[in-house]
Amino acid sequence: MPNIWTLDLSYNRIAIVEKLAFESITQLNTLYLNNNKIQVLDKSMFPKSLSKLRFLILEQNQIKELVPNWASNLKNLKILDLNKNFLQRIQPNIFKGLHSLADLSLKENKIRSIRETSFEGLTSLESLHLDSNKIKNLSKNLFRHLYNLRKLNLNNNKLKELHPNIFKIVSMQLKNLKLQNCGIERILPNTFNGIAKLNGLDISNNQIEDLYPGVFRELTWIGILNITHNKIQVLKANMISGIGTIRVLLLDFNEIHCIKREAFKGCEILEFVSLSNNRIKSLDASLFAHLKGFKKLELFNNDVRVFNVETLPKDVFISTNVTK
């Protein structure tokens, strides 16, 4: 069977892969082993004959342990799916040899601990999924070798806060950063230090009560900044400032009752702001007067009584269920 391209062994009851099981398959590109009962990954499962393997799907097994050097023969692997397993820790250098890996998915495991060198050697990695685990702390140097990382998903963990400069090494390539529902209580200055351009930053569904002025100043361009479902009460002067370019700002479902005059200073090409489901009673529309590209403002489910619409930029569309 040397010319098999794709092998699908999913949805069986495989618990052990024998040492020579794939020895005669030399051209395999894609291997599906998902939805089985495999508990341990070791080198004997993936011999040199699988050196051309590019896609390895191991989702929804019972994997508890990755044995050191388990993937050392998979030098051309591009996608590795380990979702929905029982991993609790990621050991140092455990992905050693996977120099071509572009996508690593570890979501919905039970990961609590990731060592500083866990991802060392993954210099081609573009997408890393660590969402829906039990991670409480990330080493400040964890991502230091991931020079090509573009997408990082940390949603649904227990982080509370992040080390300053944690994304500095990966910043030039990072495009999407997700930190939703992590229990984050505060974002320290320099957390996003060095990040040049993000299509999206999602810090929604956290416990953030305040944002340090200029905390986003390192973000020279951002498409969508999502801060919905937090506990922010006051939008202070310069809180959002410093972002050279921001298109969309979502602040729904906070506890905002006050917006200071220079809250949006430096955000001249902001196009859309959503402030629905807050506690706003009065709003000075001149807050948005300097925003040359401003197009839409949403204010649903507030208690706005005072709002001088005339000072809004021309042609701005207002969505609200209050009388303006």
Domain count, the chain: 2
Task: Note whether 318 and 205 are same-domain residues.
Answer: yes
Task: Note whether 323 and 199 are same-domain residues.
Answer: yes
Q: Evaluate whether residue 59 is within a structural domain.
A: yes
Q: Evaluate whether residue 279 is within a structural domain.
A: yes
Task: Note whether 103 and 205 are same-domain residues.
Answer: no
Tens of pLDDT, residue by residue, the chain (324 residues): 568 999 999 999 999 999 889 999 999 999 999 999 999 999 999 999 999 999 999 999 999 999 999 999 999 999 999 999 999 999 999 999 999 999 999 999 999 999 999 999 999 999 999 999 999 999 989 998 898 999 999 999 999 889 998 888 665 689 999 999 999 999 988 898 878 789 999 999 999 999 888 788 888 889 999 999 999 999 988 888 767 688 999 999 999 999 998 888 888 889 999 999 999 998 888 888 888 889 999 999 998 887 777 667 777 888 876 544
8 Å CB contact between 177 and 206? no
Task: Note whether 217 and 323 are same-domain residues.
Answer: yes
Task: Note whether 102 and 208 are same-domain residues.
Answer: no
pTM above 0.75, yes or no: yes
CATH code for the domain in which residue 303 is found: 3.80.10.10
Q: Evaluate whether residue 85 is within a structural domain.
A: yes
First to last CA, the chain: 73
Angle at 242 between CA 310 and CA 297, to 5 degrees: 30
Q: H or E stretch including 89?
A: strand 89-90
Q: Evaluate whether residue 156 is within a structural domain.
A: no
- Which backbone phi and psi does 135 adopt, to 5 degrees? -75, 125
Positive or negative, the CA dihedral 296, 301, 307, 309 is positive
Q: Which domain holds residue 27?
A: 1-111+124-129
End position of a domain, from candidates 99, 129, 159 = 129
Q: Evaluate whether residue 159 is within a structural domain.
A: no
Q: Evaluate whether residue 227 is within a structural domain.
A: yes
Q: Evaluate whether residue 307 is within a structural domain.
A: yes
Q: Evaluate whether residue 103 is within a structural domain.
A: yes
Q: H or E stretch including 62?
A: none
pLDDT given for residue 323 in this prediction: 46
